[in-house]
Structures are given as C-alpha cells and as structure tokens.
Structure 1
Amino acid sequence: MAFLTNSAMADQQSDALVTKTPFDEVSKSFEVMSQKTKDCKDITRIDVAVWSEEDGQDDLKWYNTTDVINGQAKVKVNLADYGNRAGSYITHVYTTYSDGRVSGTALESLKISPKAPQVSVKNGALQLSTDINAPSNGTIKYAVWSEENDQDDLRWYDDSGKGITRIDLNNHKGYGRYFVHTYLAQDGKLTAINGQDIIIDKQDISYQIVQTSDKTYDVLINDVPEYITSITVPVWSTVNNQDDLKWYKATKVGDNSYKATIQLSNHGFDTGTYGVHIYGDNSITNSFEALSGTPGFHVDQISGLENPDVGISNVNTANGSFKVNVTEKAMSKRVSKLKVQVTSKSNPQKTKTYEAGTSSYGKISQSIDLKSINNQADTFSVVATVIYSDNSTATFNLSDQNYKPSATPSPRITTYINETNTYPVGQCTWAVKSLAPWIPNWLGNAGGWAVNARAKGFRVGTTPRVGSIVVWPHDGNGYGHVAYVTDVSSNTRIQVKESNYAGKQYIGNFRGWFNPLDSFWGGDVSYIYPD
C-alpha cells in the first residue's frame, strides 16, 4: 500500500479534494470521490482500499477507476462485498495525476452498526429478518421468551448470518406476547441493540365446502394462522361407520389458505352423508390438533355406474405379445385387480392366468407373452376378469389373439450351402455354419465376419432379424464372437443359438432373452442377412 504522504513538488501543486458519501441504508453502499481542485493537475485514476478494522486487513478490497468526469473520479463500495457485516470500515484513497504523481488520503472510519430485526410469524416459526450481519469478530444474539410465566422459557439464539433466523415456536409455550431482544457479542462484551415484542393470538379458521362435480368436492380452509404448518382433512361416509375413512393432505393455495379435494371414488361412490373435520399441526403447542368440525356434505344420488373400459393394445403377432388394459371411467366402480386367462385353441390344456394390481390411479395393464403358453403358431382365446374393490367381479370375453412367428428367410446366395463345415468343432464359427449353411467357410476369426461377408456380397446391417447372424467384433478375448438369431423382440432384446459360450462347446440357447448391445457382450454388433 502506498504511503499516505504527498510528494514535494516545485510548483507546490495542491492535491485533489477526497470525500465520501454517508452510508446509504437502502442500497447498503457508499461512494468515494476525488475532485480536481483549482491548483492541482488533472486526475487520471483513483485506487481505493477499504477494509474492516475488526480483524486487521483480512477482508481488504481494492476499487479503482480511470473514468474522470468533470474532474471527478468516483467508485462505489458495496457492503455486500464484505458479507453485509457491521463494523468500522477504514478507507484509504490514492489519487494519480497526469504527471504521474500519487497522493494518498485516509478518510474518517465509517461505523456501520447492527440493526434490530424485523419480527414476524411465518410457516410455524418466529422469523427474524435483518440485512446487516454481525461484524467479523462478533455474533448477533437473540434472547427470546414468552410473557407467560415470566422468563421460564427464555432461550438464546445466534443469528444465522443469512439474513433470516427462524425461531422454532416449539421451544417456547403458549399464545400471547413474545419478547425478542437483540445483542452484539464482541470482544467479550454483550451490547444491547434493541428490544421488541410481538403478539401471537389464537385464531379461528373459516371453511367452505363446494361441490365441483358429481364426484368431487373441495374443502376450502381460510384464515389459517401462520403457526399452523399444515392442514389435514379426514373424510368418511356415514355408511358402515368409518370403513372408508381417508385423510386428505390439504394443499396451500395462498397466504393463509388451503384446499383439499375429495374424490367420491375414494369412498366407493357411497350416497348419503359425509363427515368432514379439519386438523392442523400447531407449532406453538407442538401438537396435531382439531381445528374445526363441519356439517359435512350430503350426496343424494350418483348417475348410473358403468363398466370400465377393457381392451387390448400393443399387439405384435410375430412376437406373440400384447397388453390387456383396464381403465376406470368416471362412474365405474373402483378396480382393484385384473385376471387374464389365455388359452390355446389348438390345445385347451395349454392355458395361463395372469394377475395384475393397479399400476396407477384408475388404470391396470397386464403384458401377455403367448410364446410362454405355446411356442408354435396358434390362436388363443382371451378372457379378462375385473375384480372391484368390493370383491364383485365382471368378465369380458376379448378378441382372439394369434401368434405367427416370422419365417426364416430363404438364402439369396446359395453357393456355400452344400460345402462341408471346416470350422473347428465346438467354436462359435462352427455352430453358426452348422445352423446357417449358407454362410461360407474361411471368413476368418469371428470378429472379421461382417467385413469379410460383405466383401463376398452378403448384406450386413445393424437390425436383428430371425435367421440372421449376429457378429460381436470385440467379444471373445479379441477374436470376436458370432451366433445365430432365433428370436427378436426389439433391437435390444433377442435370443440366439451358439457354441463356445461360457466354455460350452456345443450348440444351445444359453442366454435366453438378452441385450446384444450390452457392453458386457462387447457392445457394438452387426448382422449378416441371408437374403
């Protein structure tokens, strides 16, 4: 840092006038200015060093500018640069003139004091808000207690240093007047800053029950005090006591307002009287308490109930797969389960029953795999049984479904069909030549089959097909691996026959359904097609 002295000049040149503005409480800033005087050289630059004196110069920051307007250079110092901390701030200003001379000026220290917080109740807590934090070597402390029983619940809290400090009302007791005294703990001393109080009265809520459709009601709760942190609404039909009791968590929809939406479908579409109570979590009493009873509401009638929609989707005849879907309608009973019986028409002894529960509100979906019943081409009957929440059932005869596996394509290149398999017995190449005689001998190691087969005129691609040859160029410890594709569900789900898999040097389906693109198998794959 430059010394705060002026260079002796032959012409006895005077220095600029250096000043600063008062601290602005709103913007939390002040400005430092160097103004050219009559007898001084033009100002070309100012450098301003500012730091708090509490811990030496550990927070020193420099501000500078070369912008000089009407002979004045000015910088703005924001308290945010110092964590919005209270304290004594030292300011040194260095003015550079057009002849290169620098003058230094030490301004009077700026004292910024801690402020009393704004006190309010918010989301179940006393909220103390301040925009000035403690000095770097001090702590702002709050003494809080309720008027009830004098100071028997007095507790001390440290300011969070983040602008808002929350005081849990559970640590205190009762309604009425609360006191908040603010202190600065610094240099072993506790200095009072301010004393405040706030009154927290017990408040009554208001409510309204509104029918929004023939199957929904809204419970609107208003005037909810800030010390209530959540609202819960129990609802039940008076039919069969409270066997359908459901607790609805109300959603906050505005300041001091909540809403709970009641679905009659949650209560079996009962008619008659419904009971409604309102409960809340009270941060003052630290309890879940009844806030209000209500007359409830009455349901006279609900228009005729309907069967749910039951149908079939995602049909894949070649793969033998489809889905049975059940979707509740607005006026259907609650569906709890779905059973689907699928029977082979060529052999009724081959049958399978699937069972599914609800996967999302009002919907059930069950996937069917016909190959697990009969792996040959066949036609199947499909019967869906819907089980309602009251254990009554409804049966739906759905359309027959077919499994027609894709036929293995005829080879386009037949030159190599009758040649003797010369690949080493037990190797993956031997197995594929045995299963697909149209592939030639002498294609080299498995890893090079795709490239070499393309050179001989075979089509090569990246889409799996039944009857094609899958090539993993990076599997098999660097030699690659090949297999014969026997079934395809998607690009990431196939079945193959092969040899030399996991040490098994005979032909078989060792993997079942698997993902050929999985990095475990080498990742990158190609397919050689016969046609």
Structure 2
Amino acid sequence: MKKKDLIFYAGTAVLLAFSTQQVKADEQHASDQTPENTSAIVATTTSSEAQNTTADVVGNDQAVQTENTVATVATPVTPTPSSDKETNEKVPSEQPTTAVVASRAPYGARARVVESEDNSLPVEKVEKPSGTLTIENNNVVTGTFDAVIRNVVAPNGLKEVLVPTWSDKDWQDDIVWHKAVRQSDGSYRATIKASDHKNEDGKYNVHVHFIDVNNRRSYVTETVTEVKQIKPSGTVTIENNNTVTGTFDAVIRNVVAPNGLKEVLVPTWSDKDWQDDIVWHKAVRQSDGSYRATIKVSDHKNEDGKYNVHVHFIDVNNHRSYVTETVTEVKQIKPSGTVTIENNNTVTGTFDAVIRNVVAPNGLKEVLIPTWSDSNGPDDLVWHKAVRQSDGSYRATIKASDHKNEDGKYNVHVYYVDQNNQRNYITETTTEVRQARRSGTILIQNNNKDTGTFDVIIKDVYNPKGVRTVQVPTWSDKDGQDDIRWYEATRQANGDYKVSVKASDHKNSTGKYHVHLYYIQNDGSRVGVGTTTTEVEFRNAKTKTQASIKNVNSGAGTYTVTVDQAPQGRRIKNIRVAAWSQAHQENLYWYSTAPSGMHTEVQVSAANHQYQSGNYTTHVYVDYVDGGVEGFNLGQTALHPRATVDQTAFSPRVTNGQRDRVLRAAASLVGVRGGTAAHQQLVNDYNSVKPLPVGYAVKTTDDWCDIFVTTVFQREGLSGLIGRECGVERHIQIFKRLGIWNEDGTTTPKAGDIITFNWDQNSQPNNGFADHIGIVESVSNGIIHTIEGNSNDQVRRNTYRIGHGNIRGFATPRYQ
C-alpha cells in the first residue's frame, strides 16, 4: 500500500521532524529500515521564487540555502525593464511520493522530503528556457557588435528576447535593454552600439532574458566582450599667423572619422575675459583632405595674447566629438600714427592737425579728426575729415569759427576708418587757440545842437575775417527802433570810417541816440563790434522844414526821401523831388506828392532812372502854402541796382543774383539765438516798415520764424517778391495772391523757395494749418536743405527728405 504524501509548509518544522527521525533511527539501529521508509531531500527552485529576490542591478552571485545544506542550482538575476514578474516553472505532482518543502533562500529554493518504497531518489525533470549567446561582428570602426542567441528553447513560448548590456566602467550607469530581432534561421540578433553606452571602451556585459507568452521574464545566459573603438582623431597646427592682418589659420590634418564627417568646427577664443569672445569657426575641406579655418582677431574683439583653438568633428549622425586642441599667441600690428599741430594762426583763428607715420594694417578709408574746445564740454564737437597729402601724411584745417569761435584749449583726437568701415581710435593731442579779436573804436564828434547832427568816427578797424563793409545802425530812444537807419560808413584817408547822422533822418527825435557798429566780413556774414550812445538836440527842428534820405538799398536801387514839417514852421503845400545819376541829367526823374501830415516820404527807385548805377543827386523842393519855395540839396547817394528782367535793356552788364542775395543773407544769420541782440535787430527791422501787416508790432517773445523770412527779403529790398507777414497761414494767402504758391508738398523745390510746415500732420497731402516757415538753401540726393528761424529758438540749418509728411507746401518767388 502506498504511503500518504505529507507536505508541510513551515520550513523549520519539516526539517526538525526529519532530523528527529534520523536520530531515533540511529539510536535504535532499527531493523525496519527498508527502502520504503528511506527519506531524501530534493531541492528545487522555481523561477517565480527567484524573481522575488531580483534587485535593481544585474547580478549572478546569489546562492540557494536550506537549514541543512542541500545541493541547488544558482540562477543569475538581472533587473527587469518593465515588470517584476518572471516565469514560474510549474512542476508536475509526483503521486507515489511524499514531499516536504521548506525555503529561506533569497533565490527562492524549495526543499522536498521524499519517502520512497525503493532505494532510488526520484528526480523532478523540468525543461527550462535556454539558449546560447555568441558575440559577432565586433567592429572597431563603427563601435558596434552583434549579440546572437541560438539554440533557443522556450517551453512556455517566446514573446521577445531582451539583451541587457552595459560596460564595466561605472557599473551599470549605461545599461540598455536591447531587443533582439528574430532571424530567418530561428536565431535572435541585437546590434549593440557603443554610442548608446556613452561610447565607453573596455569590457561589456551581455545578458539574455526571454519573455514568454505570459509576459514572464526568465534569465537565460550571459557573456562578456571587449570593445575597442577607433576614435575620431586629427592633428591641429597653426599657420600663417599674420601680425599685419591679425589673422591665423587653424589646419586640421590626419583626419580619422569612423562615423563619417559632416563638418569640422574650430571653437576659438582669447584668454582675456575667458570665453566672452568665443566663435565656432567652420573649417573648409582642402584638396589634400585637410581642413582649414582662418581666424580673424577682428571677430574676437581684436584681442592680443593667447588664443585657445579646439577642434570638434560632427559625424553623419550629427553627433559632435571633441578631437584635439592647441594654443597660439596673437600679436597684431595696431593702427597707429602721430599728430602734430601746425600753423596755429591767431589772426584767422585756424590751425592744422597733421597726421604722420600712418600705419593701417587693415587699409585706410579715411582719417577723422574729432575736435572740440574745453569750453562747455563737447558742445562744439566737429568730426573733421583729414585730406591725404602727397607725402602720405593727412591734414585737417580746424577753424575756431566752426567751434563757436571759442578761445582756449582745444582737444584734437585722431580716428582711422579701415576698409571694413571699422573706426579705430589712434591718438590725441591738445592745443591752445588765441584768436586776434575784431576791434573798432566808436567816437562821436561834431555834435551840433542847432542842426541836430553829429558824426560817428570808427577807428582801429580790424577783423580777422576781413572787413567788406562798416555798418552803423542808429536810432533814437523815442518809440524804440521805429526810426532806425542802417548807415554805411565811408573810409577816410587815414583808415578811419565816418558816418554823418542827422536828426531829421530820425523823425527829428531828440534825446538819447543809440549807435551800434557792425562789420560785414569777407564771407558776407555780419558781426557785431561795439556800441555807444550820445545826446542829440535839434533846436532848428521847431521852426525849419527838414529833408533827408533814409533806407538806402544800393542793390535794389532804392532809397527814401523824407520831408518833415516844423511844428512852428511854414505849412507845406507840395513836395517835389528831382533825382539823377548821369552827368547831364539824362536820367533825371521828378517825383511829386502832397504832404501826408507832418512827415512825408518819397520813394526813389532806379527803375525810374534807366537802372543806372552811380551816385544819385537828390534835390528837394518844398512848395509852401504861403507861395514860397524852399530847396534842399541832399547830396549824392550811391546806387548799384542788380539786374532784373526790366533792367536788361538799360544795363546788360549788371549780373543776376536776387536768389543768391537772399540765400547769402539767410546764411549770415545762422546761429542767431532768440533773445540776443541779433534777434532783437530782426524784430526791430520787421517793425520798422510801415504800415505793419495786420497792424501788429511783433515782440521778441513772439514766434519768429516768419519774422526771419520776411526780414531777410526786406533787408535785401525784395519784399515785393513774397510780401510781408509774421503769421505763416496768412503769408500763404499772400503767396496765393502773388501766384507763387504750390500746394503739393511732395514736389521738389529749388534753392531760394519758401518752405512751409504743418507739424500736426505727418503725411501727404498735407493741407492742415501751417505753423512754421523757412527758406530752401539747396536740394540734393533727395534731401531738402533749409535755413529756418525760430528752430529750437535759433536760426539753424535743417534737412528733410523730399515729400516729408510735415511739408505743407512751397512758394516760388519770381527772382530776377
């Protein structure tokens, strides 16, 4: 009869019972020991029990143990890629035997006590997953090898074959679970790439696991292999280190690129400030197979000193590999030169900055000389352009007039602009400027209290820019400058200049007179020199008629004869003026008018005298109500009228220049600021012509852009070309009446045209309210150059593109 199989699940109890049975048998020397009751322990291990002890790393050193040593088979353990389950080996039950199982082993060993009726120990035969692993195609160039699994046995089916692989370096930090691919011959193959394992060389551990159809994983086998890759390599040398151009070549030779070569990069930087100037240069393949990159220090902040040059390869898989490096010293020849100051002229207020010993390794496009005076910082900075001389030096003439005519220390710097338009500071110096200042002494002589006359004598006349004309504007204190007259002084034999002033030319005003002195310089600009005052009495003014000449405009060919009736004198009935310039009075013309109150003016124009140039004699005849006649010889007045269309028949030799006169007069006022004496003079001149437009006497606090335009034309005797106004919008209406207005702000004006603006609109067509006005000085390259009054409260030059949105329109005076 078969004995009943007993299975105990408590490991220690089973072993204890078994041990006691053995001891008892020894003591009794029992004769009933037969094969039937002979016991044995068989240790088996299930894969599921082994899986329960799997760690996070792959190992194969675990052993199975029981309380009494039992022979077992140790199974290596590898980490799971996705789950902790492995295949359980299911063993068929053995009906004729009794088994007792106990296990404390970390690998999950199972001990079974078998009682058999015979002397043989039954062996549980279970077919396990198995296979052989070989390494093939170990390629030192590509850094790859194949793990090939053959003789595959998978009793529970095979879903996939995994090949966990890692290099010996840093243990399993580069482990990858590769999936093997089934081949046509039934084997499985996985290609292992060192690039997937941090490109490590040395020993690689290769394990094999099967995943059965129940998704249980079983360790199968393992091996190791040596990986020795051919690394990307090359040599780098520095060639053509050029101190002039500041360049060198990095040349890469002996190129080895096992994974193909897409490009060679040469990251380069100077030692200064670490890698703040790093540039990744791309080397170019040469015909001999080398690669070359030209490094320019201009790409590296033009630094000198040590340069770090590294080499990296980019393979066909776009992987970048460091290859090698070197260093080189860069010493550039810097741009240089010397600057000296020559021809420091106190009379002209000029000096020359001369640049010699010019070294320009990157070529020289131009030499710039930024210069400014110490006064008020660089507010007068001008970038002068030096001119190359025949000896190779460069020279720039610096004018104090370009620097607000400042005296004192001047700062002179030198910059080179190379062929790449890079500007480099070179050197600097300073110089002292002491200009010989203009001078003139004003004296009042022959002050006659009966006739109300005095002479103005100007001595010590000097001006560094020359003196073309001496002007003496004079007016009485009464009613401001309503009686101002600009006298042109006459040069005397001793070099002095003289002007005779009559109170009768100043509305017979008495009291304080203001006398100012101006020079017209050789360039046409006017500069103030000095002032004085004098007291005037005119005792004869109360009883005697006074006749005089004022407002002489030689270029326009006009002047004004004034006749003033004495408050206590004879009453005037009629006034006749005879004027001529030719010796035999061929161009004599008579002007006749009735008196207009106590003060009468008669306009004399060369247009009535065949536009002849010369000295015009003026006689005035006053017819009184009482029948008497009084004559006045006002002497001679020089007129040199410029040519007009009407004039050409009489004087073809006179040149055409009304436009030039206007532009010259406007340019002479550039720099005049609001609130200065010159600004006050503009206002006074505007107000001096009666009747005033719209009856308004402008003030120095008013906007004065149109005052500037009107007065420029007025001073040249050309008011008739544009009319007189102080308001821009009203002036446009005058332009329209004169037939000179152009509403289209996109047209191209000409020099001498009037330009108007509407700042509230910046698009064309602009038909808004005009609020600014100026004079077009020139037009070139699509740019309009203007001279404008009250531009930032001064007379200044401005530029606008043709068709600028703020342009309201233009007026084109009919210049002759």
Q: TM-score, normalised by structure 2?
A: 0.22
Q: Give the structure with the higher percent helix.
A: 2
Which structure is richer in relative contact order (CA contacts within 8 A, separation 6 or more)?
1
Q: Which protein is bigger by CA-based radius of gyration?
A: 2
Q: TM-score, normalised by structure 1?
A: 0.31
